[in-house]
Amino acid sequence: MSDALWYLGRGTGVVSLVLLTLVVALGVATRSGRPLPGLPRFAVTAVHRSASLLAGVFLAIHVGTLLFDPYAGLNLVSLVVPFSAGAHPFWYGLGALGLDLILALVVTSVLRDRIGPRVWRGIHWAAYASWPIALAHGLGSGSDASTGWMLTITGVCVATVLAAVGWRVSERFAEVPDLAPVPVTAPPLVGTGPPEGPR
């Protein structure tokens, strides 16, 4: 049973990294307001939200399996308090820090209407910090970090985020405003103006 938990924990960690990469890239695209090839603007936002939710599910499975896996040697405190784990405190601490940031994103997204868009947006910037923290956690504590397939996945994830962030800070990134419907008024019909007085 512990072998199954170990493999499930490793696999869900890799999937979480891939999904978090997608979330960051789609978050940049959502901010731009542009459609993506094959997706209208509203679908970019919908896919971003769905990928965020799915990343959260895989992250919960990742954390849950490692909590019950005797190989990992983690307890509930070390999962949420950064750098408190008995084994590999730095690398597991990065994982706990990344988890805390993502939990803050989830909670504030649920409470977005109550806390207001300005506070939500400020906290949402933590998404940019959580991705490199999760990447470093995986590279430092992942038992597959040096394998060819994992290095390839890591390289694709890094290239994707660098391309998205590079586009975000470039001059080509211009936010497209929301397309509000323009009120349509019919032109006046000829000969329907006010009646003219006697000549």
pLDDT band of residue 182 (cuts 50, 70, 90) is very low
Residue 177 is given by DSSP the state: P
77 or 187, which is more confident: 77
State residue 18 phi and psi, 5-degree precision: -65, -45
Whether 157 is covered by a domain: the verdict is yes
pLDDT value, residue 175: 62
45 or 80, which is more confident: 80
pLDDT at 181 over 50: no
Identity of the residue numbered 151: L
pLDDT value, residue 140: 94
Average pLDDT over residues 26-52: 80
Q: pLDDT averaged over the chain?
A: 84
Identity of the residue numbered 3: D
Torsion angle of alpha carbons 161, 164, 168, 174, nearest 10°?
A: -160
In the chain, the number of structural domains is 1
Question: C-alpha distances in angstroms, 70 versus 3, 74, 118?
Answer: 9, 8, 43
pLDDT at 48 over 90: no
pLDDT at 102 over 60: yes
Whether 43 is covered by a domain: the verdict is yes
Question: C-alpha distances in angstroms, 141 versus 34, 122, 133, 162?
Answer: 37, 30, 12, 23
pLDDT at 64 over 90: yes
What CA–CA distance (Å, rounded) separates 132 from 20? 10
Torsion angle of alpha carbons 109, 115, 118, 119, nearest 10°?
A: -80
Q: Which residues span the domain enclosing 69?
A: 2-169
Whether 141 is covered by a domain: the verdict is yes
pLDDT value, residue 183: 46
Q: How many helices (H) and strands (E) does the chain have?
A: 8, 0
pLDDT tens, position by position, 142-170: 889 999 999 999 999 999 999 988 888 88
pLDDT tens, position by position, 5-31: 889 999 999 999 999 999 999 888 777
pTM of the predicted protein model:
0.80
190 or 116, which is more confident: 116
